[in-house]
Amino acid sequence: MDLHEVLIELESYADQRTKSTHMKHGAKEPLFGVRVADLKNILKKTKKDHKLSLALFETGNSDAMYLAGLMADEKQITKDDLNQWVKGAYWYYLSEYTVPWIAAESPFGFELGLEWIRSKEESVASAGWSTLLNYASINDALDLETYASLLDEVAERVQDAQNRVKYTMNGFVIAIGCYIPELTQKAKEIAEKIGKVNVFMGDTSCKVPLALDYIKKVEDKDRIGIKRKKARC
């Protein structure tokens, strides 16, 4: 399939309720409002396609950009590509899922995550924390010292951080507690210290999970340290 064909198929899956929900969460025109399940139906036809994924992301259409992340080839995408993508990821579905997922699966995940969290741009910084937590969820060989120091940084900064950065910092504590057994106890201590993280979620019913409760639930299920096969889902 080429770009034109994919865009036509995306439009055929347009759903007004999905579009309204996405716009309520921050998406802007152009978009069709395609459900993730339908995006995956298209993905079955295209498979991984590096060039097509780049073209889709460049359209600025939110549905096409999300599909681009699912379609991207983690072995071919470059650091420059990812830096361009993170700049274009204007709402949190893209900045906290689409871009971090493929970044974490690429050879540059840890490096870019550390770079992005230092950005003054909220969407880029939140993408950085999301990339680092996703990287930890799929890799065994990790820099434990750096991850430990980042937990300390969250404890110091989270309550005064930018809105979506707060959300991904909280998610970072949860992920480190769940995926890195060596740091589970430290993550629980940090989670207890930060307590409830207040994030403005707009006109939605979304809530911010309590990090300590979340980690304890995973502990109770005896699933600490069980890695994911891939970041994208």
The closest of 186, 182, 151, 184 to 169, measured between CA atoms, is: 151
Q: What is the mean pLDDT of residues 31-50?
A: 98
Same domain, 124 and 223: yes
Identify the domain boundary among 58, 73, 88.
73
Has residue 56 got a pLDDT over 90? yes
Measured between alpha carbons, how far is 132 from 183 in angstroms, rounded to an integer? 14
Same domain, 101 and 212: yes
Same domain, 122 and 38: no
Does a structural domain hold residue 170? Answer: yes
Same domain, 134 and 174: yes
Does a structural domain hold residue 125? Answer: yes
Does a structural domain hold residue 195? Answer: yes
30-39, 148-157, 202-211: lowest mean pLDDT where?
202-211
Same domain, 220 and 143: yes
Does a structural domain hold residue 83? Answer: no
Has residue 203 got a pLDDT over 90? no
Q: What is the mean pLDDT of residues 65-87?
A: 98
Same domain, 161 and 212: yes
pLDDT digits (tens, 9 = 90+) for 13-32: 999 999 999 999 999 999 99
Supply the mean pLDDT for the chain. 97
Same domain, 61 and 115: no
Instruction: Provide DSSP, the chain.
Output: --HHHHHHHHHHT--HHHHHHHHHHT--SS-----HHHHHHHHHHH-S-HHHHHHHHHT--HHHHHHHHHH--TTT--HHHHHHHHHH--SHHIIIIIHHHHHHHSTTHHHHHHHHTT-SSHHHHHHHHHHHHHHHHH-SS--HHHHHHHHHHHHHHGGGS-HHHHHHHHHHHHHHHHH-GGGHHHHHHHHHHH-PPP----SS---PPPHHHHHHHHHHTT-TT---S-S--
The pLDDT assigned to 124 comes to: 98
Do 122 and 165 touch, CB atoms closer than 8 A? yes
Same domain, 100 and 203: yes
Q: What is the mean pLDDT of residues 68-93?
A: 98
Same domain, 160 and 194: yes
Does a structural domain hold residue 87? Answer: no
Does a structural domain hold residue 86? Answer: no
Has residue 202 got a pLDDT over 90? no
The pLDDT assigned to 205 comes to: 85
pLDDT digits (tens, 9 = 90+) for 116-143: 999 999 999 999 999 999 999 999 999 9
The pLDDT assigned to 204 comes to: 83
Same domain, 100 and 180: yes
% pLDDT > 70, the chain = 100
How many separate domains does the chain show?
A: 2
Q: What is the mean pLDDT of residues 47-66?
A: 98
Q: What is the mean pLDDT of residues 216-227?
A: 98
Identify the domain boundary among 73, 107, 131.
73
Do 200 and 163 touch, CB atoms closer than 8 A? yes
pLDDT digits (tens, 9 = 90+) for 183-192: 999 999 999 9
> Could you count the other beta carbons within 10 Å of the beta carbon of residue 42?
20
List the domain range (segments joined by +) for residue 155. Answer: 96-233
Residues in the chain: 233
Q: What is the mean pLDDT of residues 58-65?
A: 98
Same domain, 127 and 190: yes
Same domain, 66 and 113: no
The pLDDT assigned to 112 comes to: 98
Measured between alpha carbons, how far is 138 from 175 in angstroms, rounded to an integer? 11
Does a structural domain hold residue 140? Answer: yes
Q: What is the mean pLDDT of residues 100-106?
A: 98
